[in-house]
């Protein structure tokens, strides 16, 4: 009995597994059908968009491409073609977004290569040469034999090099300009300091000149005052040169004294001589 029960339970388990597998398979099959259906619809819409774009009907083409993108994520052609439409309209930001989307959805290397190649082209248009270099490198990783991508990569590298050289040159010019401005500013400061110093020196010289004039003025006043105090000793230059020292008589004074003494002696002698004449006895004879 026990063996029979175990076999019965095993049978039920196997039947359940088969049923689950069947249901899962049916679901996967249904999902696959739905995905295939959505991809077909998306592809048809992509073709409609291509047709509208060939007829220069950009608006209709954009609508068809957007519908195609929303229908299926497996259709990387729709965003790629819409990116090309935007690129031709020079709407580069929108174009880059669609190329990036196409590269992320692509499962095959050729599709990835085209998406990254066109992303590099967008960066070239925007003069973002460093990003263009990276985009072209990624494109070559997915298709190393594409000569157009290789050429674009070389061009992007050359333009990036020139841009960096130009930036370095501008930076050097800016540094030189800043240095000149700084030197000019320093020169102005030095000149201002020099002007202040010169003005100060002129002020000092003026003060010295005024002091010198004042000293000369005071000296002249003292000299005149001294001249007033000194006695007049004639107008002769010789007499002016031979000024008497203190307690010493000049030659003229000595001469005057000698003359005065001589005059006094003469007067005295005259008085003596007069007395002699007056005192002589006179003989008077009377007639008796």
Q: Please write down the HEC assignment for all residues of 148-204.
A: HHHHHHHHHHHHHHHHHHHHHHHHHHHHHHHHHHHHHHHHHHHHHHHHHHHHHHHHH
Considering the entire predicted model, what is its pTM? 0.55
pLDDT surpasses 50 at 282: no
Topology given in CATH for the domain delimited by 49-107: 1.25.40
Mean pLDDT of the 209-223 span: 55
Which band of pLDDT confidence, cut at 50, 70 and 90, is reported for residue 12? low
pLDDT score, position 52: 95
pLDDT score of 204: 59
Alpha carbons 205 and 171: distance in angstroms, whole number? 50
> How confident is the model at residue 266, as a pLDDT?
74
Q: Looking at per-residue confidence, does 210 or 158 come out higher? A: 158
* CA 124 vs CA 76, 79, 120: distances in Å: 23, 20, 6
pLDDT per residue as tens digits for the range 25-39: 666 778 888 989 999
Mean pLDDT score, 53-69: 96
The percent of residues above 70 in pLDDT, for the chain, comes to 61
Mean pLDDT of the chain: 77
Grade residue 78 by pLDDT with cuts at 50, 70 and 90. Answer: very high
- Identify which has the larger pLDDT, 223 or 129: 129
Residue 35, pLDDT score:
87
Q: How many CB atoms lie within 10 A of CB 94?
A: 16
d(CA 239, CA 252): 9
| Cα distance between the two ends of the chain | 248
Confidence bin at 221 (pLDDT 50/70/90): low
**CATH number for the domain formed by residue range(s) 110-167:** 1.25.40.10
Instruction: Look at residue 207 and give its three-state secondary structure.
Output: helix
Question: Which has the higher per-residue pLDDT, 140 or 191?
Answer: 140
Q: For residue range 160-177, what is the model confidence (pLDDT) as tens digits?
A: 999 999 998 888 787 777
Here the tokens at position 270 are: 């005259």
What is the per-residue pLDDT for 21?
Answer: 63
Is 78:65 a contact under the CB 8 Å cutoff? yes
Counting residues of the chain whose pLDDT is more than 90, the rounded percentage is: 45
User: Could you give the angle at which helices 77-88 and 109-125 cross, rounded to 10 degrees?
Assistant: 20
Predicted local distance difference test score (pLDDT) of residue 148: 97
Helices 92-105 and 77-88: angle between axes, nearest 10 degrees: 160
Alpha carbons 264 and 245: distance in angstroms, whole number: 28
Q: Where in the chain is the domain with CATH 1.25.40.10?
A: 49-107, 110-167
**Reported confidence tier of residue 96, pLDDT bands at 50, 70, 90:** very high
């Amino acid at each position: 009995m026990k063996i029979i029960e175990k076999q019965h339970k095993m049978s039920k388990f196997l039947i359940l597994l088969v049923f689950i597998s069947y249901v899962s398979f049916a679901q996967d099959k249904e999902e696959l059908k739905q995905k295939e259906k959505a991809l077909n619809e998306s592809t048809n819409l992509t073709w409609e968009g291509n047709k509208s774009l060939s007829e220069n009907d950009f608006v209709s083409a954009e609508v068809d491409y957007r519908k195609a993108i929303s229908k299926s994520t497996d259709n990387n052609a729709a965003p790629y073609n819409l990116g090309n439409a935007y690129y031709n309209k020079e709407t580069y930001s929108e174009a880059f977004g669609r190329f990036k989307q196409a590269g992320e959805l692509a499962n095959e290397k050729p599709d990835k290569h085209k998406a990254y190649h066109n992303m590099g082209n967008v960066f070239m248009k925007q003069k973002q040469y460093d990003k263009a270099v990276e985009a072209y490198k990624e494109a070559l990783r997915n298709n190393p034999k594409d000569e157009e991508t290789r050429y674009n990569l070389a061009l992007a590298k050359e333009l990036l090099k020139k841009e960096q050289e130009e930036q370095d040159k501008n930076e050097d010019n800016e540094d030189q300009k800043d240095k000149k401005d700084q030197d000019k500013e320093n020169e102005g400061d030095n000149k201002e300091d020099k002007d202040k110093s010169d003005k100060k020196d002129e002020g000092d010289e003026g003060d010295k000149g005024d002091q010198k004039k004042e000293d000369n003025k005071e000296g002249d006043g003292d000299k005149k005052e001294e001249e007033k105090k000194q006695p007049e000793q004639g107008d002769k230059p010789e007499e002016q040169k031979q000024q008497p020292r203190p307690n010493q008589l000049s030659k003229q004074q000595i001469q005057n004294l000698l003359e005065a003494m001589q005059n006094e002696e003469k007067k005295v002698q005259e008085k003596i001589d007069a007395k002699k004449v007056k005192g002589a006895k006179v003989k008077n004879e009377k007639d008796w």
